[in-house]
Amino acid sequence: MTDFERQPDDVLAELVALREADAPTHGGRVLSYVYDSGLAELDDLAARAARLVQPVNGLDPTTFTSVAAMESDVVGFARRIFHGDASGAVAPADEVVGSVTSGGTESCMLAVKTARDVWRAANPDDERMPRLLAPTTVHAAFHKAAQAFGLGLDLVPVDPETGAPAVADVAARLDADVALVVLSAPSYPFATLDPVAEVAAITSRHGIALHVDACIGGFALAFQEGLPDWDLAVPGVTSLSADLHKYGYAPKGVSVLLQRGRDRQRRQYFATTGWPGYPVVNPTLAGSKPAGPLAAAWAIVQVLGEPGFVRLTARATEATRAVREAVDAIEGLRVVGDPVGPLFAVRADERVPAERRVDPHHWADAARASGWHLQLQPGMVQADGRVLARTAHLTVTPVTDSVVGELVPALVAAADAVRGVPAVDGAELVSGLAASLPGGTAGLAAASAGLDSDTAAGLLGAFGLLGGEGAGGALPDRLAPVLALVEALPGRLTERLLVELLARVVEPRG
């Protein structure tokens, strides 16, 4: 212990104190980000499994063979529940194989990279930038992937009522430069189940790859009855992503990407012998990587099995039904579309007079004041002019079932507290701010073009979002004005300001 500058127990006590300021990860009070099975034994199991492989490097499953065994089991489980397991019935070339990745974003990025490389190989003389075609509701991970891997992102507007794209609109934009179509099962913003089978019938005719992003809901939808086919049971689906660190109840850092066809999947890999070090073969973006999240997910899958997932999904589904019914009964609010899986979004009900309407962002702020964290989603204008309403998002987990009796009254009270309060006027905020800036409105517009970090920090300060010393990472009490700014400011400017905010939060202090 003499090598140590501080006592381990003191350091851990400091971490415990830091953790007390976090949003609560258990108990169902945070309705996004965290997925609580409500089973403390599962969390304990995950921690013990991760501890066992703590020193292992997942980079090399031939040296650390436990990694290969666990990954094979987890991919096998995913392949079975997502109906990629038609062994014997498919040509060997079409067999479904897969990888465990560090999370949904990595699964999505690898699906895009694979599709790009498959498209390149099939179209060696096509000099166009390949296109990624997806509904506007596709997860932002695909924006990131398109940017990282050099594809043009072509977003198909969705019906604001249902949250789904029209099959004909997707079909109309298919061409030989489309390397990948992505649909969600379900979408994050509105929990819409996209028309997978209908689109697959068309893409497969043209030999175009189709990814189903089941990152959020996959491990719940697979255990629900009565849904149309949405997974690898649909022949034209060429890849599928599903996050074990969401409804697989594993700690963060684990997801699965399944691909139809070994030869397709091999394009996901990076390999080189062109340097003087060890030969590199990476199925995923990382080099050295932890085995802990994989071990945790593996152990949870082993312990739960399909029956365990069925029971947990039933609990989350029942809680979702109860909370949805309660929200539907709140005057001034309504659920968006026909959500599938244990999540949904809520918008203002514009069918009632303005003084009876509830702005979902004020509602979320009021709920947060009483300890329930809903997620605020901005409204947006799609390319064809159709407007997606601003919403509050609720991700429901099995543990929610045990707190419905507290959650529902809190949601009702929060709506009562803000009913009739007009939404924050983002345009007014922006013009007020522009007036206080040296360059006025023109200054704000110019700022969108390219901001240095000090100017960006200054703007954040003017918005009241970057306080004095010690502001740390804490959010302001009310998020409705922040989201109103996100809606009203030019997207490029908001993006730059958000980068500044997040970067400043982790800068060394003192």
Ligand X SMILES: *Cc1c(COP(=O)(O)O)cnc(C)c1O
The two beta strands, 210-213 and 280-282, are unpaired
CB of 33 to ligand X, least distance (A): 9
How buried is 50 (Cβ within 10 angstroms: 0-12 exposed, 13-18 middle, 19+ buried)? buried
CB of 139 to ligand X, least distance (A): 3
Rounded to 5 degrees, φ, ψ at 353 are: -60, 150
Distance (Å, whole) CA 394 – CA 34: 11
| Dihedral angle computed from the Cα positions of residues 19, 21, 22 and 23, in that order, rounded to the nearest 10 degrees | 140
Helices assigned H by DSSP within 151-273: 167-172, 196-206, 218-221, 262-266
CB of 147 to ligand X, least distance (A): 15
Q: Does 37 bind ligand X (CB under 6 A)?
A: no
Q: Of 99, 105, 284, 377, which one interacts with ligand X (CB under 6 A)?
A: 105
Provide the 8-state DSSP code for 278. Answer: S
What would the two tokens of residue 444 be?
């704000």
Distance (Å, whole) CA 244 – CA 302: 13
CB of 35 or CB of 77, closer to ligand X: 35
DSSP string, 402-424: GTHHHHHHHHHHHHHHHTTPPPP
Q: Given the rule CB under 6 A, which of 104-112, 292-300, 324-332, 473-481 is the region that contacts ligand X?
A: 104-112
Helix (H, G, I), strand (E, B) or coil at 48: helix
Using CB under 6 A as the binding rule, the residues of this chain from 429 to 458 that contact ligand X are none
Applying CB under 6 A, the site for ligand X has a residue count of 13
Q: Of 99, 136, 184, 192, which one interacts with ligand X (CB under 6 A)?
A: 184
Contact letters for ligand X, residues 84-103 (x by CB under 6 A): -------------------x
Which residue is closest to ligand X by CB? 104
Q: Of 196, 199, 200, 215, which one interacts with ligand X (CB under 6 A)?
A: 215
CB of 291 or CB of 456, closer to ligand X: 291
- Do 275 and 229 touch, CB atoms closer than 8 A? no
Q: Of 216, 291, 423, 429, which one interacts with ligand X (CB under 6 A)?
A: 216
CB of 156 to ligand X, least distance (A): 16
What would the two tokens of residue 205 be?
């005719």
Contact letters for ligand X, residues 239-278 (x by CB under 6 A): ----x-----------x-----------------------
Q: Which amino acid is at 338?
A: D
Q: Does 377 bind ligand X (CB under 6 A)?
A: no
Q: Does 188 bind ligand X (CB under 6 A)?
A: yes
Q: Of 43, 194, 213, 365, which one interacts with ligand X (CB under 6 A)?
A: 213
Closest CA to 394 of 184, 110, 191, 246: 191
Q: Of 104, 293, 360, 481, which one interacts with ligand X (CB under 6 A)?
A: 104
Contact letters for ligand X, residues 120-159 (x by CB under 6 A): -------------------x-x------------------
Q: How far is residue 181 CA from its own chain's centroid?
A: 18
Q: List contacts with ligand X (CB under 6 A).
A: 103-105, 108, 139, 141, 184, 188, 213, 215-216, 243, 255
